[in-house]
């Protein structure tokens, strides 16, 4: 198992955002977490990526416990993420934003950076080349020198995506990758996720767009009020009575 979550809980005061959730993601799959608004999906992502410490429970990544580690350590183990509300670095170009993603794959420090040693220049050029390739993959190579936060919404999403890929992650967490995108852009995102997955990157995504989730996921976990209520293949989930109930409401409603 690449990622294993056991009895994970997180409370915010009186609110139980994630409650005793357990599931796992095996190497090479696309797994989706779905659930109504407020089900605790984003909290779950924040727990996995280390942004929030869990109240209880355990998270193992590549067999190693990661609960309690700071986000940068988890990132360096090979986990990258995107955000529901895009978080790009203001005042930096799209290219620079993606190059920050190369941080954990390069090593120039304060001293070598100040002296601009030959090997740091080489490393810098290599980082730039990888970042340009990724921008090209996402069809935004022509926007490389534009300030990232001034781009259109869909383009910002693409930059964030490229930044995550620049980290060469083994596990990619995508928080609502299709939010705010139109039907064509969503289809493009679906194609891209499948393509990345084909290159051996495991994907865990949170998404509201059911057609996207059903199309590309190998497995789905369903959260409601912080609890996992179902898990299975897209076909199994579509026919799960409990899932239909929480999405469509009670029979007597």
Q: 52-90 as b/e, with b when 16 or more CB fall inside 10 Å?
A: bebeebebbbeeeebbebeeeebbebbbbbbbbebebee
Rank residues 36 and 113 by Cβ distance to other proteins and give the closer one: 113
How far apart CA 196 and CA 173 sit, in angstroms, is 12
Residue 210 found at the interface with other proteins (CB under 8 A): no
Rank residues 20 and 133 by Cβ distance to other proteins and give the closer one: 133
Q: Are 203 and 31 in contact (CB under 8 A)?
A: yes
In which residue are the tokens 């407020």 written? 38
- Would you call 43 helix, strand, or coil by DSSP? helix
Separation of first and last alpha carbons in the chain: 41
Restricting to residues 112-131, name those near other proteins by CB under 8 A.
Answer: 112-116, 120, 123-124, 127
What is the nearest approach in angstroms of other proteins to the Cβ of residue 138? 17
Residue 75 found at the interface with other proteins (CB under 8 A): yes
Residue 83 found at the interface with other proteins (CB under 8 A): yes
What is the nearest approach in angstroms of other proteins to the Cβ of residue 106? 5
Q: Provide the 10 A C-beta neighbour count for residue 235.
A: 10
| Binding track, positions 144-173, relative to other proteins; x by CB under 8 A | -------------------x---x------
Q: Are 92 and 147 in contact (CB under 8 A)?
A: yes
What is the nearest approach in angstroms of other proteins to the Cβ of residue 114? 4
Name residues whose C-beta falls within 8 Å of residue 220's C-beta, 6 or more positions apart in sequence: 31, 32, 33, 34, 213, 230, 231, 232, 233, 234, 237
- Region of 45-53, 151-159, 210-218, 227-235 interacting with other proteins (CB under 8 A): 45-53
What is the nearest approach in angstroms of other proteins to the Cβ of residue 252? 44
How far apart CA 76 and CA 53 sit, in angstroms, is 18
Rank residues 36 and 70 by Cβ distance to other proteins and give the closer one: 70
Residue 206 found at the interface with other proteins (CB under 8 A): no
Give the binding site for other proteins (CB under 8 A). Answer: 49-51, 70-72, 74-76, 80-81, 83, 87-92, 96, 99-104, 106-110, 112-116, 120, 123-124, 127, 163, 167
């Amino acid at each position: 198992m690449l990622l294993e979550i056991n009895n994970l809980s997180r409370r915010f005061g009186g609110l139980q955002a994630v409650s005793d959730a357990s599931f796992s993601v095996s190497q090479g799959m696309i797994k989706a977490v779905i659930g109504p608004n407020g089900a605790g999906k984003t909290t779950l992502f924040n727990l996995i990526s280390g942004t929030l410490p869990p109240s209880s429970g355990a998270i193992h990544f590549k067999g190693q416990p990661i609960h309690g580690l700071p986000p940068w350590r988890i990132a360096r183990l090979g986990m990258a993420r995107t955000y529901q509300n895009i978080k790009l670095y203001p005042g930096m170009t799209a290219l620079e934003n993606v190059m920050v993603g190369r941080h954990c794959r390069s090593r120039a420090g304060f001293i070598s950076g100040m002296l601009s040693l030959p090997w740091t220049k080489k490393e810098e050029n290599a980082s730039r080349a990888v970042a340009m390739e990724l921008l090209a993959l996402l069809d935004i190579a022509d926007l490389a020198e534009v300030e990232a936060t001034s781009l259109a919404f869909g383009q910002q999403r693409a930059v964030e995506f490229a930044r995550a890929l620049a980290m060469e992650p083994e596990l990619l967490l995508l928080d609502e990758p299709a939010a705010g995108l139109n039907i064509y852009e969503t289809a493009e995102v679906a194609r891209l996720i499948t393509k990345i997955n084909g290159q051996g990157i495991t994907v865990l995504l949170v998404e509201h767009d059911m057609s996207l989730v059903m199309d590309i996921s190998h497995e789905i976990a369903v959260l409601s009020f912080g609890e996992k209520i179902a898990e299975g293949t897209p076909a199994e989930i579509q026919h799960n009575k409990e899932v239909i109930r929480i999405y469509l409401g009670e029979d007597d409603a």
